[in-house]
């Protein structure tokens, strides 16, 4: 099996016009996950308003954090496979510093 080659996406290479270029399948997946997370956050708010036991609220917060981490991993993988790869192939090594800064933020 040959390694997957990134598709051409000029938007990645142009810093003034950088945009993501996710497939419709990925967008649908991410949107669905984010909708669930949004619902979970609303649920946490109601739990607090209803004086739900703290441990139960904390467990729900943990679930939301985990779900957000999953969304971040999907986005990071796509970013590495497309934008970062393309920019490196074009000789743009600034993308490494940009990526390191982003990864540090994700790992907080």
Q: What is the pLDDT along the chain (108 residues), one digit of tens a residue?
A: 444 444 444 445 455 577 777 889 999 999 999 999 999 999 999 999 999 999 999 999 999 999 999 999 999 999 999 999 999 999 999 999 999 999 999 998
Look at the pTM and tell me if it is higher than 0.95: no
- Check residue 15 and give its pLDDT: 55
18-36 CB burial, b ≥16 within 10 A, e <16 = eeebbeeeeeeebeeeeee
* Angle at alpha carbon of residue 68, lines to 83 and 76, rounded to 5°: 15
Q: Which CATH architecture has domain 22-106?
A: Up-down Bundle (1.20)
């Amino acid at each position: 099996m040959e390694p997957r080659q990134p598709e051409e996406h000029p938007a990645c290479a142009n810093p003034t016009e950088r945009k993501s270029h996710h497939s419709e399948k990925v967008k649908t997946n991410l949107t669905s996950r984010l909708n669930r997370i949004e619902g979970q956050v609303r649920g946490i708010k109601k739990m607090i308003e209803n004086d739900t036991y703290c441990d139960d609220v904390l467990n729900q917060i943990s679930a939301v954090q985990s779900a957000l981490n999953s969304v971040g991993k999907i986005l990071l993988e796509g970013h590495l496979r497309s934008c970062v790869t393309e920019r490196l192939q074009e000789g743009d090594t600034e993308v490494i510093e940009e990526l390191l800064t982003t990864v540090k933020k994700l790992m907080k």
